[in-house]
Amino acid sequence: MAEILDALYGTIESRKGADPKESYTAKLFDRGIAKIAQKTGEEAVETVIAAVGQDREAVVAESADLLYHLLVLWAARDVRPDDVAAELTRRHGVSGLEEKKKRAD
């Protein structure tokens, strides 16, 4: 999965500064971080709705949309997939309850 996410992220990065009339990704970048965040939130809600009331294929499709928009959000904030992977690696093997407690301190 990491390979396709890295490839998609590279494509997304290449759309920065591209013509918004020719690329949906460029259009998102052109509209700014607030719109990108809004679209990411909408896709998250659609994924949750699909998980609760629809079939597996709907969850797969909505998850793909969510991941795409999340990658656009990361690119807009100069967050690379490797940055998130490093954070997940750091947390691996640590109790979720422990992790949350550390963040609350």
pTM of structure: 0.88
In angstroms, rounded to a whole number, what is the distance separating the alpha carbons of residues 71 and 84? 11
The tens digit of pLDDT for each residue in 18-52 reads 999 999 999 999 999 999 999 999 999 999 999 99
The tens digit of pLDDT for each residue in 47-97 reads 999 999 989 999 999 999 999 999 999 999 999 999 999 999 998 888 767
Say if 96 falls within a structural domain. no
pLDDT of residue 105: 63
Say if 101 falls within a structural domain. no
Domain of 53, CATH number, reads 1.10.287.1080
Task: Evaluate if residue 99 carries a pLDDT over 70.
Answer: no
Say if 18 falls within a structural domain. yes
Task: Evaluate if residue 98 carries a pLDDT over 90.
Answer: no
Which amino acid appears at position 73 of this protein? Answer: L
List alpha helices for the chain, DSSP H.
2-14, 24-31, 33-53, 56-76, 81-91, 96-104
